[in-house]
Every structure is written in structure tokens, then in C-alpha cells.
Structure 1
Amino acid sequence: MGKNTSMAEYYEEKFDSNDDTVTQLKLKIESALECLISYKIDTKLEVRKHMESFFEELKKFSGDLETLSHTGIEYENRLQKFDEVNRDTHEFFSVALEGIAKAREGIKQLEFKIEHKNDFQSSGEDFIELEREYTNMTSNGRVLIVDDDILILSIMNRALEMRGYEVIVTSNPHEVGDIVNSKDIDLAIVDLIMPELDGFQVFENIRVHSPELPIVFLTGRDHTETKIDALKRGAEDYIVKPFKVEEVLARIDGIMKRKSTYKFNINIDELTGAYTRKCFASKITGYLANAKAGKPVALSFMDLDKFKSINDTYGHLVGDEILKRFVVDAKTYLEFAKIFRFGGDEFLLLIENSSEEEAKEILESFREQVNGKDHKIDGIEDIIKIGLSIGLTELKPHDQVSKLLDRADKALYKAKESGRNQTVAYSDIVKSNICKKKILIVDAENVASNIVKSRLKSLDYSVKLADELEDIEVSLKKDMDLVILDFKTYRENKEKLDDMDILKHKVLLMISESERKQLRPSDVFEIDEIVMKPVSVNEVEKKVRKMMS
């Protein structure tokens, strides 16, 4: 723009009067912004005149653009209050930027209304709802700007906000660590030359708190060596002042697009479209915070039953197709939940605003839907059906992630151990543990009995192994549901064990073929079952299940 060119002449040169009004206005707004930012000390009065001319131009509009007219009147009046020579330059620029931003926002809202005018023609309430939708549209990302130049902070703040970014600004480099820790920052723009900490020190501080955060240097230092140093350290870009705002915005847009693509790749499972395990790790903190605030959140592990046999029988491509279909069904039926692929055929599900009891009802219904679906796949004659085992728990106010996952995993294990294709809540396991059936194993030579004990505990029995008489006596007073008794131990301590009425309990006797000859008929009468030594753990389990049923 020439030094003696009026704003009207400048527009007349740059814009075709036959262009669409909105398009012309958008270009005028961008040009006003460019004019404001490209000022120099010896041209500040010229810039002021251009700003006043810009707002004068806005005053002529009416109808749908009447809000622009109001903006023109308001900001022309506000700028005229500044003394032409001895004014506060920063305050002038802040007011001018605010006016440009307001004009641009008015154009964006008008475009939004035009885009939807065919859908909403009946009443003013429709447009009110549209404007509410427009206001609630999410930002393009959150940008942190660190610069001791207040004017640059104002310019970049307004420019980025007009671009749709949420902006956090600070002139204090010592605040950066706390900001990065407390805010979900997507990009940092850092001045290289600052009085207290230089940009490289701020860069390293950010890296401590957020190693993968993209960082752009914005500086007046146009030295090749410094640029190379910055880029070698891992800076995303190096922009030299003075700069053109649209160029800076284009670079930022490109960085944010690349980051968005990267986040998509690490957060979305490539095969199924479910969220990834890494995504779960990043999101679970927020869900735990909700639980701490008293909002119910349920978590479940889901595992496709005997999925390996599908891969073995039909091949991995068919298995992959089944996994993809399962996730599609889960997203459709459980659209209010978040599904994460945890590995292989195992998935995690987070359901907000649902207690464990409510989530169990929801998941049981979903499991039945999965069971009832026939999968016909091209090239495969068989109809494939899948079962689903689900373990469920509810987040607690002071939960740790490891404990949360452990509870869900235990519930899933119980579902699979109990026959698969069912939903088990962790609270169900806790309740069953309170009423566990109690088994006492009496065996002085307890090598085999330790193995039996482990197997029976895995079946959710309460199992006590005792080899000392005092221990046996104390245990028998606790109303044991079953005693597994080694014959040799019984024979060696018969008198004392008879005094304890050990044979009045339900008894499974472990005995060898040679020992069997020493068994008295009266003892046989009081013994419920016999298992031969050396014992088979599977045989013991089978007899215990039978005796406990």
C-alpha cells in the first residue's frame, strides 16, 4: 500500500466491485489486519488513518450486515479518543485489533447463517439455535505464546483467535512449566530473545514437561547458525520478525494438521477403528477425576471366546474381519461408551454415568446381541458365531489405574473360568468370597497338597492347609464344609484327630493302594469319598465339585 494511498483507493485497486460482498469483506478485514501488523514507528500515524478509514467503511452496511455497521461506529469512536501523537501505542493497537476481530467474527456468523439458510427458514428461534451451535463449535487447538513483547502478544493472540484457536499468552517465561502442566497445549510459540530466560532455556523447560509438544521460535534473530541450532534441538519451525501474519498462520495450520494426523494414528487402532491402548492411558486420568467428583464410571474387559480357533480354522484375515465387525457392533449398540483395543481380541470399554449394576445390565444385553448375530464372510461356507466374556468394575474415587485394571481382569477371568460367554461384575466376586465354602487340607507331607490347594483356591474356595494338630483343631472349629484328609497323617494322629471329631465332617480321603489295606471298615463308613495317591489334581477337583454341589 503506497504512502499516500487512501484506504478507499487501496480497496479499489485490490478488489473487484463485482465480487461477492462477503468475500470482499473478508479480504478487506485481512488487509486491515496486515496493515496494522506491518506498521513501523515512522508510519504509525499513517496506520492510524488506515484503521479509522477501515471502520468508516464498515459504517455503510445495513440489513444482514448491520452488525458490521455498529462495529464500525463503535471502534471509529474509540480510536478517535486517542491523541494523534502522544497516545499509548499498545492500547491503540489493542483496540484496533479488537475491532478487526469483532468484524471478522460478524462475517463468520453471517457465513454460518447463509450456509444453513435452506434448512432453517421458519422462525427466529431456529437462527438462535444455529448461533448457539456456532458459538459452541470446538476450537482448532490450544496455542501457548511466550514473548516479552506485549505488542506481538496482542497481535498473535487476536490473529490466532480469529483463526479459531484458543490462545494462552504469557510474557513471563518462568510460568511456562506450570501452564504446560495444567493446560492441554497443542503448540507453543516462543520468542528466542527474552531478558530473564532465553528461548532455548524455555524450550528445554517445555521438553521436561511435554517432550512431544511442537515448538515454534518467533524471533528477530536472523542468523543461520541459530536457525540450525533451533531445528537440531527439535523445534518445529523458526520464523523471523518482521513477519506476515498469514504466513505464520499457514505454518501453524500445517503443524497442527500434522499433529492431528499423528494423534489420530496413535489414538485409533488401524485395523478395527477402536481407540488404542495408548489412548486409554491418556484418557483414564480424566475418567478417574470424574469418579473422584462423584460421577459413576464403569470399566469392562471384553474378550471374544475361543477367538484363536477362528484364526486357526479360517485364517487371520477372517479373524481380522470378525474383530472389525465386533467393533462396529459395539460402537453402534454402545454409542455412548468408549471402546479401546487392548491387544489381540481383548477390548476395554468405558461407560460414563453408569454404576456397575447399570453397566452390567447394558453389557448383558450387548452380549446377547453379539451371541445372536450370524457372520457370513465371502469365501467361507460356514456361518461364524462368536461368544463374549465380560469382566466389569466401577471406578472408585481414589483408584489407581493398576488396581482398576486388576479388578476388571479378575472379573473377566472369573467369567471365562465359569464357562465363558457371560458378564461378571467384580462386586459379584466380592460377595461370593464372603460366602465361600471352606476346605481344610490335613497333610503332614504337604508337597502334593500345596498343588491341590492352589487349584482349589483358583476355583474360589477358601482353602486352609494344616499339618500341626493345634492348627487342625482351630480350623475344625470354623465349620469346615469339607476336609481333605491324608490317610498317613490320620493314622499317625488317629486318637487326637478322633477326639476332634474330624470324621464327622464331610471327608475326602487321600490314600495309596498299600494304605488302603489298613483302613478299618468303621472308618470307611464315615468317609464320603476316596482319591488315590499319587493324587491327580484334576481328579481331586472333580470330586470336590461333586461333594460341594
Structure 2
Amino acid sequence: MEIRQSLIHRLIMKKDEQFSNLIQYCLYGKNKNLNNVESFLRTLNKFSKVLDFKSLVNISNELKECLILYKNSSNKDKNLLFKILELYSDIYSEVEKLDTELFDISIDDENNSEGSKYSNLVHKGNILVVDDDVMVLDLLEKIFSKRGYDIILCSNPFHVIKIIKENRIDLAILDLVLPETDGCDVIELIRKIDSRLPIIILSGSTDTENKIRAFRIGADDYIAKPFEEKELVARVERTITRHMNFKISSIEDGLTGAYVKSYFWRKMKEINKTYRRNQKIFSLAFIDMDCFKNINDTYGHLIGDEVLKCFVWTLRSSLRFTDYVFRFGGDEFVILFPETNEEQAYNILERFRNSIDYDKCMKSNAGIVCEGAFSAGITEVKNVYDKIEDIIKRADIALYKAKMQGKNKTCIYETPSALMENNSL
């Protein structure tokens, strides 16, 4: 059973990524995207046969045949395109359904066994449960612990704020009726310190006025006692997933998919703190597109937007999964390279500059006016006293040097003494 679940989870991790590749192929016709999708389908077919999932085998084979037809057709048939997307949607649904079925079976197996306490489950989040009924607290702890959640139990509503301040809470479950106060009063207190924390009311009251009051004050959901376990779990997981997706969307630039500037500061503080603890070096690159204003003036802002999206997409595809791309301004980007010195970061950027995908992307979106045009400045952290502002300033100075030397190049920051020494040679 564990092997089957492991295989299914691997498919789940891949299916969103491959949907993006499928869309990219349908829009731009890039063979790289098609190859990724075909590789995924081969893996899916193999796993499905091993697990005896005949429906998935049939769907993946049909999708593969449609992709071949679409690839070989000179006139791209819209109906065939819709069929391809429909088949991938079927794969998506089948994988999700199988995961749910296997998960329910595994939970039943755990309930019927006397094994150890869920020590191998992947951590899925922290849930705060506030209720004065000890039996309810114990029941909710068992329900969510076996599904990979860490549960913090609280029977005293006046301790809630302290708990939230001292712990990372992903969701709070509150009873409406609490000693010396009620759940709505607690929600109001929570909303004063955290306006986004998901809150679910779990109460024996089915009074409509109570529900309306809870929603108006800030509850995300209201579940009546006695509750059905599977429904409770589904609603909790839906709420947490929606909250997590919102958190992700709040740190990503809506146009390019790069991380936003505010997230850059948070990430830099985090990685700088790690450096001070273990001295694992990191580098930063400041990037500016040399031709972007010319593109907007000549071709318009819509084409400019497409160039930015394509630039970031090809950049991220050439970087390592540990690297971070942030949008700093209109056509300014910052890359954070963890555990990478400035020479290594330089080689990574130049490999991207000379890549075929980058060249094709620039030419297909804006013609030869944008051919190979970005400048970059790179620096690495120097010591434990190095300030984030100073690191950025050095990268910006190196970027300015690249611009002054004719653009379309990458420069590594040199200290004034090193610069004087090089100039004297």
C-alpha cells in the first residue's frame, strides 16, 4: 500500500508541471515542452500498468495519439486541441481520485492496526483547536494527526493569542461556546493580529443567526456538531489549500511569475541569517533588459509583456531549482543563488545568455531588435557583517559597469583596490 501511495504522490507532484508544459506547447509549439509531456505520459503509462490502473493506461495512450496527430498536422485543429486538454483533465481527475481512494484505505488500515504513531507522515500544517470539551479535543487530534497535521490543543480561549504569536498556525478550529467568552469574541481578537488566518467554527449550535454573526466577524467556514469525519477533513483541507494558494499568489508577480520585491527582502534576511550561522556562501545578480524601452516604444506594451514573460520563463528553466528570481521593477530582476560563489553564478548566467531557448524566445516575441539583450551585475556575500543593502549596492554597481562597457554582458563586482590593480596592468 505504501508503495502504491508513493507512486501516486509522484504523479501528483508532476501533473501540474506537465499541464504548464502542455499549455506552452499548444501556444508556442516548442518541442522541449512536448518532450516533457511525452516523458510524463510514458511514466504515467508505466506506473498505471504496475498499479493496474487500466483507465489511466487508456487515457494516456489516447492523449499520446492525439499529441502525435497535433504535432504532424500543418493546420492546427482547434477541436483536436480541445480534445487534448479534455484528456489531460481526465488524467488529472483520475490521479486525484486514486489518491483519495488509496488514502482512505490507508487510514482504515491504520485504524485497524496497533502500529506506531504516524511517525512517517509528511507534515501538512499546524492546526490550532480551541474547545472546552476534552473529548472533542482528543477526537480532533486523532483525526488530523493520522493525516500528517501537527495539532495544538487549547481549552482556555484566553491563551489563544499567545499561542498564535508563538507558533506558525495554518488554521484554527474554534467552538462557538467557550468558558467565560464565545468563539466570535475570540475571532475578533485573532483578526486584530492576523487578518488572514483561516478560521473554522465547529459548534453544536445550528442557529442561523449564530452562523451569520460568525461569518460577518471573520470565520471562513461553519461546521455543526455532530460532524462527519470525512466531511470535516475535506473542508479543513480545502480551506488550508486555498489559504496556501493565496500565500503563493501573494509572493508571485502576476505577469511574469517571478517572486515579488517584498518577498525578496524576506528571503534575503532568511538566507543571510543562515550564512551567519554556517557560512554557506551565496551570490546575488542584478539584471536589466537593455532593449525593453525600445520594445515598448516600437511594438507596444502587449508585446513588451510577452517579452517579459518569455524572458523569465526561459531564465527560470535554465536555473537550478534552488535559485530564486525576483522582479524588482519594470524590466529589472534579481536572482538569488544559494550556496553559490560569484564565479559560479556568472557561469550560470552566461549559459542562459547563450542558450538556444533564450535566443528563440527573444526573436519570436520582438524580432532582432531584442537579440540577446540583457546586462547583469553579480556579487557574493563577503562576511558575516555584510549588510543586505550593501550586497544589493555592489550588484547594482557591477550592473552599471556592464552597461558602460557596451551592454549585453555580465560583470562581477570588483573592489576599488582590485579595480585599480586591474587598470594598472
TM tier relative to shorter chain = 0.5 to 0.7
**Matching of residue 144 in structure 1 with residue 125 in structure 2:** no
Is the CA contact (8 Å cut-off) linking 1:267 and 1:278 kept in structure 2?
yes
- Answer 1 or 2: higher relative contact order, Cα 8 Å, separation at least 6: 2
2:224 to 230, 236, 240: 240
Q: Is 1:334–2:319 an aligned residue pair?
A: yes
Q: Which residue of 2 aligns with 1:386?
A: 372
Could you tell me how far 1:435 is from its partner in structure 2? 7.1
**Residues 1:258 and 2:228 aligned together:** no
Segment drifting more, 417-426 vs 344-353: 417-426
Cα deviation for residue 163 of structure 1 reads 3.5
Asked if structure 2 preserves the Cα contact closer than 8 Å seen for 1:375 and 1:384, the reply is: no
**1:353 equivalent in structure 2:** 339
Work out whether residues 304 and 386 of structure 1, in 8 Å CA contact, stay in contact via their aligned partners in 2.
no
Alignment of 1:346-425 (within 5 A): 346-369=332-355, 373-375=359-361, 382=368, 384-395=370-381, 397=384, 401-425=388-412
Shift of 1:202: 3.6
SS in 2 for 1:184: coil
Partner of residue 271, structure 1: 255
Distance 1:327 1:213, change over 3 A: same
Residue 430 to residue 370, structure 1, CA distance change in 2 (3 Å): farther
Distance in 1 of aligned mates of 2:283 and 2:106: 53
For the pair 1:313 / 2:298, whether they are aligned, the reply is yes
Give the distance between the partners of 2:345 and 2:375, measured in 1 at CA.
14
Residues 247 and 348 (structure 1), Cα distance of their counterparts in 2 relative to 1, 3 Å cut: same
Deviations 1:512-545 (A, max 9, x none): xxxxxxxxxxxxxxxxxxxxxxxxxxxxxxxxxx
Kindly report which structure 2 residues correspond to 1:172-251, keeping only aligned pairs within 5 A, or say none.
172-173=156-157, 175-195=159-179, 198-251=182-235
Superposed counterparts of 1:394-543, under 5 Å: 394-395=380-381, 397=384, 401-426=388-413, 428-431=414-417
Q: Which amino acid aligns with 2:252?
A: I
Structure 2 residue 267 is the aligned partner of structure 1 residue 280: no
Deviation at 1:371, TM superposition (A): 11
Q: Deviations over 1:409-442 (max 9, x none)?
A: 343334324432333344x1444577799xxxxx
- The 8 Å contact of residues 326 and 335 in structure 2, kept in 1 or not, is answered as yes
The 1:404/1:305 distance shift into structure 2, 3 A limit, reads same
Q: Which residue number in structure 1 is paired with residue 307 of structure 2?
A: 322
Classify 1:377/1:403 alpha carbon distance in 2 versus 1 (closer, same or farther; 3 Å).
closer
Give distance in 2, aligned partners of 1:196 and 1:394: 56
| 1:2-30 residue CA offsets vs partner (Å, 9 max, x unmatched) | xxxxxxxxxxxxxxxxxxxx979947966
Retained in 2: the 8 A contact 1:303–1:346? yes
Q: Which residue type is aligned with residue 231 of structure 2?
A: E
TM-score (normalizing by structure 2):
0.63
Q: CA deviation at 1:296?
A: 1.9
Percent identical: 38
SS in 2 for 1:344: coil
Take 1:390 and 1:24, find their aligned partners in 2: how far apart are those partners? Answer: 49
Whether the aligned pair in 1 keeps the contact of 2:284 and 2:336 (CA below 8 Å) is yes
State the Cα distance separating 1:353 from its structure 2 match: 0.8
Q: Which amino acid aligns with 2:379?
A: T
The alpha-carbon deviation at position 302 of structure 1 amounts to 1.0
User: Which secondary structure state, in structure 2, belongs to the residue aligned with residue 373 of structure 1?
Assistant: helix
Q: What pairs with 1:36-115 in structure 2 (closer than 5 Å)?
A: 71=113, 74=114
Q: 1:212 to 1:375 in 2, by over 3 A?
A: closer
Counterpart Cα distance in 2 of 1:23 and 1:335: 35
**Aligned partners of 2:387, 2:189: CA distance in 1, in Å?**
28
Unaligned runs of 5+ in 1: 1-21, 31-57, 59-66, 76-97, 106-134, 438-547
> 299-308 vs 351-360, which deviates more?
351-360
CA contact (8 A) 1:146 1:190 kept: yes
- In the alignment, the residues of structure 2 paired with residue 192 and residue 140 of structure 1 have an alpha-carbon distance, to the nearest angstrom, of 26
Distance (Å, rounded) in 1 between the aligned partners of 2:111 and 2:229: 23
| Cross-structure match for 1:441 | none
Are 2:161 and 1:168 equivalent residues in the alignment?
A: no
Tell me whether 1:299 sits opposite 2:275 in the alignment. no
What TM-score, normalized to structure 1? 0.50
1:24–1:399 distance in 2 versus 1, CA, 3 Å: closer
Q: How far apart, CA to CA, are the structure 1 residues paired with 2:407 and 2:163?
A: 48
Q: Look up the match of 2:138.
A: 154
Question: 1:309 offset after TM fit, Å?
Answer: 0.9
Q: Quick one: distance in 2 between partners of 1:401 and 1:197?
A: 46
The 1-side partners of 2:103 and 2:348 are apart by 53
CA distance in 2, matches of 1:23, 1:256: 20
Task: Write the deviation string for residues 232-271 of structure 1: whole angstroms up to 9, x where unpaired.
Answer: 1211122333322222222212212322332343233333
**CA deviations over 1:105-160 (Å, ceiling 9, x no partner):** 9xxxxxxxxxxxxxxxxxxxxxxxxxxxxx57x54433222333332222112212
Q: Distance in 1 between matches of 2:354 and 2:363?
A: 21
- Show structure 2 runs of 5+ residues with no match: 1-99
Bigger Rg, structure 1 or 2: 1
Partners of 1:308 and 1:322 in 2: how far apart? 12
Looking at structure 1, the residues matched to 290 and 246 of structure 2 have their Cα atoms a distance apart, in angstroms, of 33
Change beyond 3 A, Cα 1:367–1:159: same
One-letter code of the match for 2:328? F
Name the aligned partner's letter for residue 353 of structure 1: E
User: 2:130 & 2:104 partners in 1: Cα distance?
Assistant: 29
Does the Cα contact within 8 Å between 1:295 and 1:353 map onto a contact in 2? yes
Q: Indicate the SS of the match to 2:227.
A: coil
- Residue 538 of structure 1 is matched in structure 2 by none
Q: 1:247 to 1:26 in 2, by over 3 A?
A: closer
CA positional deviation for 1:400: 5.4
Q: Secondary structure at the match of 2:212?
A: helix
Shift of 1:403: 4.6
Q: Tell me, yes or no, if the aligned pair for 1:375 and 1:383 is still in contact at 8 Å.
A: no
CA contact (8 A) 1:142 1:184 kept: yes
